[in-house]
Amino acid sequence: MVLGVSGGIAAYKSCELLRRFTESGHDVTVVPTAAALEFVGAPTWAALSGKPVATDVWSGVHEVPHVRIGQSADLVVVAPATADVLAKAAHGLADDLLTNTLLTARCPVVFAPAMHTEMWEHPATRANVATLRSRGAVVIEPAEGRLTGEDTGKGRLPDPVEIFETCREVLTRAASGSGPGTADLTGRRVVVSAGGTREYLDPVRFLGNRSSGLQGYALARAAAARGADVVLVAANVALPDPAGIKVVKVETTEQLRHEVLAAAASADAVVMAAAPADFRPVTTSGTKIKKAADGSAPSLELAQNPDILAELSAERPRPGTVVVGFAAETGDDSGSVLDLARGKLARKGCDLLVVNDVSGGAVFGSPENEAVIIGADGSCVEVPRGSKSALAHVIWDEVSPRLPTR
């Protein structure tokens, strides 16, 4: 693996990224620019990677480093990637070891930009980013927050933990045989919902469910690693925001519905991995409901919440949008898990339905999952137990060929 570091103040954060790579067993060669060494010195990179560090093409010439490093890499990640490095990479310039490495690499390449908002939003930078993405590179959207000095805005380096997760997704994609340059969702806008909604009885109590949001977050990360512009609508999820993804936080089913429908208006695909509450209280108490002195319990009248998946499927805010639903089933006297799921697929009208057997509470909060993906066209794909990330990629494998042509 090659970790390229360009000359921005966020270079110090890449020390944490390097530590995560090495501790997870990766062999990392750090290639900083000369400007990067003004922020973090070569001894630091050498100590953390266990390898010598060079910035120019003249060190160790007999080993032809400007060609060899890129040729032998399984992944190149540039973090932080300044506007200067993005411009050089887009235009094929090669005036130091990092830019030469980018030209010779035939593996997946990930850029994690960090710069002031005005630089990120400049038409030249936007055009360079579009060029890199069109060639299959993954350019992570920068985060919003405090920048250098008193400035705030979009341009902050995403959390190193989340950059690491994105890189792991890209490596997983490459290892599956898809190979580099196959960012099949580049230029696509997708919406993913995650978590479980809450319907409040009073200021401290609510009706909810056990959804952790892990599968939805895995879907969002996988889509971003495949080049998509991702909006993640998260309902009551206690997970860090994935790198480069717009996260919209909601609580109730109605809030989830509003945000998903708004985002879906410009989406190529919507994956409803969230678990909306089916019912809500007809009335909500403004104060905590107290226990009755006589030991009696209050009665609770419920109303049915809107069916977001059915609404999306029926109205299709954008023609050709692929709609994916999830079904958590246990099976009963009326039919097996798959029987019930096929009935749900027909009622909801979505294109794909991801079916989980949740008997005994399986799946919820677990890092692993197994599922059957059934399609309105009669297709059926069984996904054996594995990571939720692996299932996410299989789901996108099914979505991708169904997307409308551009």
Compare 290 and 67 and report the one with higher pLDDT. 290
What radius of gyration do the chain's Cα atoms show? 24
Average pLDDT, the chain: 90
**Each residue of 349-397: pLDDT tens digit?**
999 999 988 776 555 667 888 899 999 999 999 999 989 999 999 999 9
pLDDT value, residue 298: 86
CATH number of 189-402: 3.40.50.10300
Query: Could you tell me the pLDDT band of residue 179, with boundaries at 50, 70 and 90?
Result: very low
Which residues partner with 302 through β-bridges? 281
Residue 65: predicted pLDDT? 59
Q: Which fold has domain 2-178?
A: Rossmann fold (3.40.50)
The CATH 3.40.50.1950 domain(s) of the chain lie at 2-178
In angstroms, rounded to a whole number, what is the distance separating the alpha carbons of residues 258 and 250? 10
Task: Summarize the confidence of residues 187-203 as an average pLDDT.
Answer: 96
Residues 331, 337: contact at Cβ < 8 Å? yes
pLDDT at 180: 43
Task: Output the pLDDT for position 176.
Answer: 66
- The answer to whether 376 and 351 are in contact (CB under 8 A) is yes
Query: Residue 373: enclosing H or E segment and its boundaries?
Result: strand 368-375
pLDDT above 80 (res 406): no
List, by residue range, all CATH 3.40.50.10300 domains of the chain: 189-402
236 is catalytic: no
Give the pLDDT score at 57: 63
Q: 18, 50 in Cβ contact below 8 A?
A: no
Q: How far apart are CA 82 and CA 122, in angstroms?
A: 13
Phi-psi region of 178 (alpha: psi -120 to 50; beta: other; left: phi over 0): alpha
In tens, the pLDDT along 17-27 reads: 999 999 999 99
Q: Are strands 368-375 and 380-387 parallel, antiparallel or unpaired?
A: antiparallel
Q: 121 or 210: whose pLDDT is higher?
A: 121
The answer to whether residue 342 scores a pLDDT higher than 80 is yes
Which range is least confidently modeled, 140-144, 333-337, 339-343, 396-400?
A: 333-337
Which residues are bridge partners to 31 per DSSP?
4
Of the candidates 100, 209, 356, 369, the residue annotated as catalytic is 209
Phi, psi of 70 (to 5 degrees): -70, -40
Identify the pLDDT of residue 86: 98
190, β-bridge pairs: 230, 269
Whether residue 345 is predicted with pLDDT greater than 90 in this model: the reply is: yes
